[in-house]
Amino acid sequence: MFLELDGDGPLYRQLTRALKDAVLDGRIGAGARLPATRVLAQELNLSRNTVRTAYDQLAAEGFFSGKVGSGSYVAQTPLTKPSRKPAKTVVPQSRYAARLRSVNKDFDIGRLHRGLRFNLQYGEPIHDLVAIGAWRRELAHAASHTSPNYPMAQGVLSLREAVCEYLLRRRGMTCTPDDVLIVFGTQQAMTLTVQVLVDPGDAVVIEDPHYFSARHVGEAHGARIVSVRTDENGLVCKELPGARSGSAPGSSSSSPLKLIFATPSHQFPGGSLMSMTRRVELLRYADRHRCWIFEDDYDSEFRYDAQPMPALSALDTSGRVIYAGSFSKVMFPSLRMGYVVMPAALRTEFVAAKRINDMGCPAIEQAAMARYISSGGFDRHLRRTVQIAKRRRKTLLEGLERVGLGHFAVPDSRAGMHAVVWLPYMTHAQCAALIAHASKRSLGLHPIAPFYKRPPKMPGLLMGYASLSATEIEAALPILAESIRTVVGPARK
């Protein structure tokens, strides 16, 4: 036991104070057994009588208790030092740290209702036990066949090759391993992109509504955030800065536009698919204004009854698109693995930024993923989970039509792992009351309004269906119906 005597007064008093401080500071927990007096005396180079006297004193004060034949123990009731009002100190911090403090306040938006029995949480993946078992085997193999040395910061070559082959098959993209950077998911892809391209004061466009992390990353780096409206065809390109006049943003006193965050394959959270006309318009805009597009292709694998369109990056002939994909969304979030397809003009900067940030992602996990893809296991997992998600989506949509009492309007995007459910006959206050009432009955509902810069005219909900089984969704629907009747009233005719 480490105890430091203060050198003030008799040894038994010094030891008494040291033991008392250790108890009050929590270094010796409530109910903990103390060393025998002989053992502690040897450790501290004290006489046994000194230790025994200190133990007796603390027992008299109620700190210790003795059990015949068993030893001495700290009191069962936790003891703490009297609280003191902390002194106000000025903590030096960078401007970046100050901005982090301001954006952190709502970083967990949407992570409500954890622990509820039926949580319709958007963004949660399907929990596939088959994939978990296969992943365990791939990890074991990779651990035995992967070099223990540092991996390349850009990523393990076999995984970058597998990503290229996968993107060619699934997204119509032609790229080489030199174009691919392995990252810790889409969040790091966004962060690296902003670090490489954006200076404080530069303009960054986000969609409205938008994925809140895109806004957070831009704000943390001091960017000027510009929200641009979306509709049923995706980002409204004619409302981009300078689009109507044809002048370049920043040609006057305004800050230059550097980056556009977009989700063309499945707008988040609205659900629209960017039309081909808009895609061409957006690419021409980026080329004309010499800015960059971050294509967040977060769940393009999940399409139902619709032919997938090629990625925006597949149409890019000017090298203006930074494409980001994620294995974490398809497999499980704890994997924290994704990839960036870098424009040739930015390869050096992206790899250097990755190296400075973390020296590269773990090689064993990368090798395991490469083998999982090349063996066909990843494609089998996708086919299986897409069918599961399709069944769960059908269960939810049919159930909403049955129990919605005429209060729901559900646009069908035929994609993704969540549904947007509009409440055209409710107020925003009634929507909040509906969410609160359902939560008390163990049903988690999530509002769409926080994802808008300007609140939508009508309230709405994001309903994720991937992480609940069809049986659980069916069990949740009567709770939803009862909550609607309680908050709003009977069915609309």
3-state secondary structure 189-253: HHHHHHHHHCCCCCEEEEEECCCHHHHHHHHHCCCEEEEEEEECCEECHHHCCCCCCCCCCCCCC
Same domain membership, residue 191 and residue 259: yes
Same domain membership, residue 147 and residue 171: yes
Among 379, 406, 426, the domain boundary falls at 379
Looking at residue 403, which CATH number applies to its domain? 3.90.1150.10
Same domain membership, residue 297 and residue 411: no
Same domain membership, residue 281 and residue 203: yes
Same domain membership, residue 447 and residue 373: no
**What is the average per-residue pLDDT within 456-461?**
94
pLDDT at residue number 249: 54
pLDDT above 80 for 459 = yes
pLDDT, one tens digit per residue, over 350-385 is 999 999 999 999 999 999 999 999 999 999 999 999
Residue 36 lies in a domain: yes
Residue 80 lies in a domain: no
Same domain membership, residue 317 and residue 179: yes
Q: How confident is the model at residue 127 (pLDDT cuts 50, 70, 90)?
A: confident
How many distinct structural domains can be found in the chain? 3
Looking at residue 29, which CATH number applies to its domain? 1.10.10.10
Preceding omega of 209 cis (within 30 degrees of 0): yes
| Nearest alpha carbon to residue 266 among 291, 235, 300 | 300
Contact 417, 466 (CB under 8 A): yes
Looking at residue 159, which CATH number applies to its domain? 3.40.640.10
Residue 42 lies in a domain: yes
**What is the average per-residue pLDDT within 146-168?**
95
Rounded to two decimals, the pTM is: 0.80
Among 379, 411, 439, the domain boundary falls at 379
Q: How far, in Å, are 120, 209, 228 from residue 458 at the CA level? A: 20, 13, 19
**What is the average per-residue pLDDT within 292-305?**
90
Q: Which of 28-37, 77-86, 113-122, 407-416 shows the lowest mean pLDDT across its residues?
A: 77-86
Same domain membership, residue 242 and residue 261: yes
Residue 286 lies in a domain: yes
Same domain membership, residue 395 and residue 284: no
Q: How confident is the model at residue 253 (pLDDT cuts 50, 70, 90)?
A: very low
- From the number of C-beta atoms within 10 Å of its C-beta (0-12, 13-18, 19+), residue 141 rates as middle
pLDDT at residue number 489: 81
What rounded mean pLDDT belongs to the chain? 89
pLDDT, one tens digit per residue, over 171-223 is 999 999 999 999 999 999 999 999 999 999 999 999 999 988 999 999 999 99
Contact 30, 79 (CB under 8 A): yes
Domain span at residue 344 reads 129-379
Same domain membership, residue 143 and residue 47: no
Same domain membership, residue 312 and residue 209: yes
Same domain membership, residue 247 and residue 211: yes
Same domain membership, residue 171 and residue 208: yes
pLDDT at residue number 365: 97
Q: What is the DSSP string of 402-467?
A: HHSTT--B-----BSSEEEEE-TTS-HHHHHHHHHHHHHTTEE-EESGGG-SS--SS-EEEEE-SS
Give the three-class secondary structure for 257. strand
pLDDT at residue number 45: 87
Residue 101 lies in a domain: no
Q: What is the DSSP string of 124-144?
A: PPP--HHHHHHHHHHHHHHHH
Among 327, 355, 379, the domain boundary falls at 379
Q: Which neighbouring-strand residues pair with 422?
A: 409, 460
Percentage with pLDDT > 70 across the chain: 90
Residue 4 lies in a domain: no
pLDDT at residue number 428: 94
